[in-house]
């Protein structure tokens, strides 16, 4: 029973977390997802504690991430203790909570606990759950793209986009149940390479399912207009192709070259129809008749934007990011050792906020993140925190790459294992890229911590599998587990 409950919790994390949206909370998206992650990590902790008490033994599964993981959590704890606002550093910035010390501790518990409930062959089951969830997320988002958002139907009973303010325009930039277009883009970039694995390994008996999934993922990526996500997929695809060539696995693609060429052409057609959101690219592929039509359209000012400076237009997002990055760098150098404390950027940014930020169209926005995960760690946890984070990333990349040199690569299982770790590597790289232009969210952090758990799981042999002695569990304890 314990094992089944634990497995169900992990499956639900990847199936349900991206879909959780509630209207009666102070924040619709991230807060509710974070609360479910808290619930899951506490439940996993309780299950493991009960199992170990019954066995009268503490079980520890060793992995390549033990030392750097403990160092990372230890540094976050120290930074929290010396924070300018310990409450914020412990629980996270109000409204979302993701990124506070408790959230990092929760992700660590989920990383550590995975190996007690799963073996290597179960990785694909978890990825399949995540894939199913991503399909629901994409279909949900597409409804808003065409003017009939399921969120509005759920919240107000009206099957339209009317429930959203001008800051949320799902018909222009899709965000679905993730909350913001860039957050959805980062999520889909990860799943692009999961879908690619299912395609090249012919995981589905009906080949068109894998192709349809990849095409749908790409169309929804374009619909987010997230440049960082598109860049991440582009870089990940180049990395994927390069490693395939180096590993001499080109035969896998030559067998399916006609279908892959067809899929590539559909990708190009999707770019022409849905555009990328990158003006230089979109201008090249825009038809002359569309140019003539768009030049005749009048721009209607948004009445809800009257509180903006009249002399300024909407500032390019990258230009604003550069200003925020400058402030984050200055903040990191002002508090070089342990920073101002996890999740305190929204408070401490004003210590070093560049004066030019006041001339942008977002002069009155509260920036609770540096919009660059690395600079955010530098500003809030100092050189020590940033270094521990970067070392953690390097250790993950190194261990993922190790599996690309597995024994017996000519066997079918060996090839599939290589392709699995290659896809996970590319998915992880997309996280690193999208985090450079933004910051991690709950769904992204799940993958950031669970992909290394997959690696740790792959290092373990079946004899390391944790054996829950369910026969020794008293019925009253089963009730306690159910209530928990």
Kindly state whether residue 365 falls inside one of the protein's structural domains: no
Nearest to 424 by CA among 241, 235, 251, 240: 240
Kindly state whether residue 40 falls inside one of the protein's structural domains: yes
Kindly state whether residue 151 falls inside one of the protein's structural domains: yes
Kindly state whether residue 327 falls inside one of the protein's structural domains: no
Tens of pLDDT, residues 246-295 = 887 777 777 767 778 888 999 999 999 988 888 888 888 776 544 444 44
The residue ranges of DSSP E strands in 152-225, in sequence order, are none
Specify the pLDDT at position 406.
Answer: 65
**Total number of domains in the chain:** 1
Structural domain of 168: 2-61+118-289+406-463+472-483
* Dist CA 88 CA 75 (whole Å): 16
Specify the pLDDT at position 460.
Answer: 64
* Dist CA 136 CA 376 (whole Å): 31
Nearest to 397 by CA among 443, 438, 431: 431
* Dist CA 157 CA 136 (whole Å): 20
* Dist CA 419 CA 427 (whole Å): 12
User: Is pTM, for the whole model, over 0.85?
Assistant: yes
Tens of pLDDT, residues 318-327 = 899 999 999 9
* Dist CA 84 CA 80 (whole Å): 9
Q: Which residues of the chain have pLDDT under 70?
A: 256, 287-312, 406-414, 460-484
Contact 208, 416 (CB under 8 A): no
Kindly state whether residue 252 falls inside one of the protein's structural domains: yes
Cβ density class 30-47: b for 16+ within 10 Å, e for less: bbbbbebbeebbebbbeb
Kindly state whether residue 339 falls inside one of the protein's structural domains: no
Specify the pLDDT at position 428.
Answer: 98
* Dist CA 256 CA 45 (whole Å): 45
Read off the tokens for 384: 């020590």
Kindly state whether residue 9 falls inside one of the protein's structural domains: yes
Kindly state whether residue 89 falls inside one of the protein's structural domains: no
SS3 at position 212: helix
Specify the pLDDT at position 293.
Answer: 44
Specify the pLDDT at position 418.
Answer: 87
């Amino acid at each position: 029973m314990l094992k089944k409950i634990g497995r169900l919790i992990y499956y639900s994390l990847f199936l349900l977390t991206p879909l959780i949206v509630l209207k009666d909370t102070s924040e619709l998206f991230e807060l509710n997802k974070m609360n479910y992650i808290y619930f899951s990590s506490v439940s996993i902790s309780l299950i493991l504690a009960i199992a170990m008490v019954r066995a009268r033994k503490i079980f520890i599964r060793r992995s390549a991430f033990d030392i750097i993981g403990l160092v990372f959590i230890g540094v976050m704890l120290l930074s929290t203790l010396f924070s300018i606002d310990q409450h914020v550093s412990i629980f996270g910035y109000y409204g979302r909570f993701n990124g506070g010390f408790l959230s990092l501790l929760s992700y660590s518990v989920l990383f550590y606990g995975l190996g007690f409930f799963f073996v290597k062959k179960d990785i694909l089951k978890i990825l399949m759950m995540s894939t199913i969830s991503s399909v629901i997320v994409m279909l949900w988002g597409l409804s808003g793209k065409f003017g009939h958002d399921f969120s509005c139907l759920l919240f107000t009973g009206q099957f339209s986009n009317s429930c959203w303010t001008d800051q949320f325009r799902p018909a222009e930039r899709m965000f679905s149940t993730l909350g913001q277009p860039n957050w959805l883009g980062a999520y889909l970039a990860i799943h692009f390479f999961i879908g690619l694995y299912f395609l090249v390994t012919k995981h589905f008996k009906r080949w068109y399912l894998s192709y349809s999934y990849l095409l749908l993922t790409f169309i929804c990526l374009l619909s987010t207009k997230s440049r960082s996500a598109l860049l991440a997929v582009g870089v990940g695809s180049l990395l994927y192709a390069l490693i395939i060539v180096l590993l001499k696995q080109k035969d896998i693609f030559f067998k399916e070259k006609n279908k892959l060429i067809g899929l590539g052409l559909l990708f190009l057609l999707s770019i022409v129809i849905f555009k990328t959101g990158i003006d230089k690219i979109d201008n090249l592929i825009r038809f002359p008749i569309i140019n003539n039509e768009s030049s005749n359209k009048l721009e209607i000012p948004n009445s809800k934007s009257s509180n903006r400076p009249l002399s300024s237009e909407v500032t390019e997002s990258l230009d604003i990011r550069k200003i925020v990055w400058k402030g984050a760098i200055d903040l990191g150098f002002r508090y070089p050792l342990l920073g101002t404390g996890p999740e305190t950027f929204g408070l401490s940014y004003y210590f070093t906020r560049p004066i030019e930020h006041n001339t942008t169209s977002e002069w009155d926005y509260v920036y609770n993140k540096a919009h660059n995960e690395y600079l955010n760690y530098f500003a809030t946890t100092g050189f020590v925190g940033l270094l521990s984070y970067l070392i953690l990333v390097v250790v993950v990349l190194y261990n993922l790459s190790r599996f690309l040199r597995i024994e017996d690569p000519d066997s079918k299982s060996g090839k599939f294992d290589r392709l699995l770790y290659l896809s996970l590597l590319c998915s992880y790289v997309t996280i690193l890229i999208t985090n450079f232009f933004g910051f991690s969210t709950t769904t992204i952090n799940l993958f950031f911590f669970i992909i290394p758990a997959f690696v740790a799981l792959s290092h373990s042999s079946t004899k390391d599998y944790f054996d829950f002695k369910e026969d020794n569990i008293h019925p009253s304890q089963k009730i306690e587990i159910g209530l928990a």
